[in-house]
A and B are shown apart, each in its own frame.
Chain A
Amino acid sequence: MFDRLSEGFSNVLRKLSGQSTISEGNVREALEDVRKALLEADVSLDVVNEFIDGALKDAHGREVTKSLKPGQEMIGIVYDRLVALLGDAPQIPENATQEEAAKILMADGPGIMTISPGPTIVMMCGLQGSGKTTTCGKLAGWLKKRGRSVMLVAADLQRPAAVEQLQTVAEQVQRDMPGGAQVLFYAEPEKTAEYGKAVGVAVGVCQRAVAAARAKGIDTVILDTAGRLHVNDSLMDELQQVNRLVQPHQVFLVVDAMTGQDAVKSAKAFHQRLEVDGLIMTKFDSDTRGGAALSVKHITGAKIRFVGLGEKLDALEEFHAPRFAGRILGMGDVVSLVQKAREQVSDEEAKAMEEKLAKGEMTMDDYLQQLKSLRKMGPLKQLLGLLPGIGAALKDVHIDDAQLDRVEGMVNSMTPAERKKPEVIDFKRRKRISTGSGTKHEDVGNLIKGFTTVGQLSKQFAGMSASDKVKAVKSLGASGGAGSLAPGLSGMPGFMRGKGSSHSASPKSAFKKKRK
């Protein structure tokens, strides 16, 4: 996400950071490139112009031309402007440690408010095909995970089979998503009609749904309204009526991240009628530069609360402006990574694992479990993209998650005894394992070798000071052995293709350092 926008930016910033002197003329020239990058990223023209004017003013104000590192200073200005454009940055005290800063950033969760007494009512709105129904399902999953019960309300009575779609989604969330809370579905399917013939009916449906939710003590009600054009007056009136009579606590506008210049017009129209409280950007897993996010945020002043990153029901992320601004500029997003890891591994589990590692007691089973939780966090390439400086380097690298399947296959082909003590695996056992998992003989060898190396390393690590740890990892990277930190992966043929084996070493070591 924002990949291509950040690509455009990195070129500009590289050019900029190389400049030892920046004159009045340079600033304009550099910003002209920024302007073009923003336009190509579909940021609306007005917003672009304002952005550039503001950055120019900042540059004068901070006396960029007189500072020691004008390039760095300019990047700082662009970053600050981006954060301001994307959302209000949380206040982080100057003397905060990295951990404290991460805590503050995470606590600034946008989320969904809780109203007491319930139910909290959330209304979704947007153009046709922006992804409202799918997002409803994802939000229900997000709430369920947090122990909040949900009622999904089918208020789209226009699009054929929209009701059925939401019902299926609701059932999927109830069945497949983690968390104990209830996910209910409310609809009045007999009220559906052809386009334009059921206008206004949604109002009553929503009112009755809220009453039903209240009676059942449901925590949050999500109204899935029909997609509509912002220029269709009668349908916009209907939304306004729902807004007035049902009084949702939060109105979310769902926006396709691939939207172009028109994003401002539709967002403005929805905002004028409904006072949108939050934005959800969908389809961020495409390679769009996502400039619409900047425009819509600017036009409505509403926070971007979530981003949709795929068709699966858990492909929803909370939005954090500073982190996204960092991503755009290729500064990485370690906080997201830590948070993702926390969702999969509890603090106790992590601690237990750390102790095992320190004592050199980690087994293949532990490794398999770690691998599984790592994979639950998302596709590897997406995860690595969150690390500072990795996104651009990974652009042309093909990462095949299927290779992880093979590692899992190999471990699964081992006997419990072998998993506990991999050193017992001799030539014969190795052969059996490779046959059993459909891998090559050497693959099994590499996995075991890597695993043993990590075991030894972590024992040494446990007794080291922080600075020694860093040194040790660095020397590993230099000798090309850091790949063994993820046993079985670097040795696998075709795991990472394309340019840069040197890149493959650093993300892993950085990742491991972070997890420790």
Chain B
Amino acid sequence: MAFFKSILSKLKQGLEATRQTLTRGLRSLILGRQLDDALIDDVQRMLLEADVGVEATQRLIDRARADFKAGTLRRSEDLLAHLKAHIKELLSSSAAVAGGAVGGGGAAAAVAAGAGGASAGAGSPVGDAASAPRILSPEFRLAPAAPTVVLITGTNGAGKTTSIAKLAHMFRRQNKTVLLAACDTFRAGAVRQLEVWAERLGVEVVKGQQGGDPAAVAFDACKAAVARGVDVLILDTAGRLHTQDPLMRQLGKIYNVAGKLIPGAPHEALLVLDATTGQNAVRQAQEFARFSPLSGLILTKLDGTAKGGVVIAIRQATSIPVKFIGTGETPDDLQPFNADEFAEAMFSEEA
């Protein structure tokens, strides 16, 4: 817990500088202007340019316009707070919730996803309080008994290996032992890339043969994690496009192998999503979740100019929450997701 506090203070420091620019976009837009249709049009433009997507943008804009017409939203100064509140709402409720089918906010959805993961484990007593995943924070769930298994998935070039290094670093700072599994047996240099990080961070790597079966590496790694009594096992997988059926099935196999050896594993199955990705990210999340039920997203490359607004559409379509954001290339550049700050950043302009 103390760890997350320290992370949070770091995040605040980091964001202090950005916050100036964050709101400058919208603030300068609002400056000296009355709230009117033209201003709302400008906001619509910002949302579209943040990759929020046509549909979710329409929802947000319709809300703002309706409240403006109804007289509940009068001053342009209140517009930002209005938008932030509704973006937060969209980020904490899924389409299913909006449709009135199921209840449950962010944390509850994460638990539900966890239960799905647990049921994949062979013979694990689902619903048993003792084996229910313990929630350390909304950001991350740990297994009731070590090892906690984390599966990292994503398309090519999303930033999986770098994100794994950051996660490993985070756990090391909590004095947890970490084992990495190099399940990317396909891409040239992938294993070596993970090894370099492991050397820098002082953690061990389980690897197989180049071109070998990644599920076999996952199997060996799970066994090794139990034998060595490590706290956290992180499985790195090859980047794959969600349209490649055989590769997606292979991912499902890795997911299942982990569950067979370690009850409830993987306890976290995270999709690494490049923040520059456009509307196709929704399909990505849906397809990856189909083969490896996802408990969350890591949104990477937010240190660029991309806003990653598509996570709103993803949340609406799939109920998968964002858990971490990546903001740089060093191991320290991983932060828990904060919907408030994220919403604010949406209306920023780079200096």
Q: How many residue pairs bridge A and B at CB < 8 Å?
A: 147
Given contacts A229-B301, A231-B305, A285-B241, contact A260 B279 (CB under 8 A): yes
B329 touches A169 (CB 8 A): no
Query: CB of B12 within 8 A of chain A?
Result: no
* A contact residues around B50 at 8 Å (CB): 261
Please indicate the chain B residues that have their CB under 8 angstroms from the CB of A159 in the complex. Answer: 193
For chain A, give the interface size range. Answer: 35 or more
Residues of A within 8 A of B242 (CB): 286-287
Interface-side segment among B64-72, B119-127, B155-163: B155-163
**Given A130-B157, A134-B156, A260-B310; 8 other pairs, CB 8 A cutoff:** A40-B53, A129-B158, A161-B193, A229-B303, A256-B157, A266-B304, A283-B155, A311-B187
B243 in the interface (beta carbon within 8 A): yes
CB distance from A230 to the nearest CB of B (A): 7
Stretch of B94-102, B139-147, B171-179, B270-278 on the interface side: B270-278
Does B350 interact with chain A (Cβ within 8 Å)? yes
- Nearest residue (CB) in B for A172 is B188
On chain B, which size bracket covers the interface? 35 or more
Q: Cβ of A262 < 8 Å from any Cβ of B?
A: yes
Q: Which of A129, A169, A196, A285 counts the most B-chain CB atoms under 10 A from its CB? A: A129
A283 touches B276 (CB 8 A): no
> Cβ of B45: which chain A residues have Cβ within 8 Å of it?
45
Complex interface bits, A36-48 against B, C-beta within 8 A gives 1, otherwise 0: 1001111011000
CB pair A127 B301 closer than 8 Å: yes
Q: Main secondary structure on chain B at its contact with chain A?
A: loop
Q: Is the CB of A286 within 8 A of B243?
A: yes
B48 CB-CB contact with A under 8 Å? yes
A50 within 8 A of B: no
Complex-state Cα separation, A166 to B188, whole angstroms: 8
Check if A291 is an interface residue, CB within 8 A of chain B: yes
Q: Inside 8 A of A266's CB, which chain B residues have their CB?
A: 276, 304-305
Give the distance to chain B from A198, nearest Cβ to Cβ, in Å.
12
> Is A195 an interface residue when CB atoms closer than 8 A count as contact?
yes
Question: What is the CA–CA distance of A44 and B50 in the complex, to the nearest angstrom?
Answer: 10
A162 interfacial contact with B, CB 8 Å? yes
Given A40-B53, A230-B304, CB of A260 within 8 Å of CB of B188: no
A129 pairs with B274, CB closer than 8 A: yes
With an 8 A cutoff between CB atoms, is A265 at the interface? Answer: yes
Chain A, 135-170, contact with B by CB distance < 8 Å: what is the 0/1 string? 000000000000000000000001111111111110
A231 to B350, CA, bound (A): 9
B290 contacts across to A, CB distance below 8 A = none
Contact A164 B192 (CB under 8 A): yes
Interface pair A287/B280, CB less than 8 Å apart = yes
The answer, among A39, A44, A129, A166, for a CB contact under 8 Å with B159, is A129
Shortest Cβ-Cβ A-B pairs, 9 listed = A129-B157, A260-B278, A165-B189, A42-B278, A168-B188, A160-B196, A161-B192, A161-B193, A262-B306
> Which residue of chain A has its CB nearest to the CB of B46?
A45
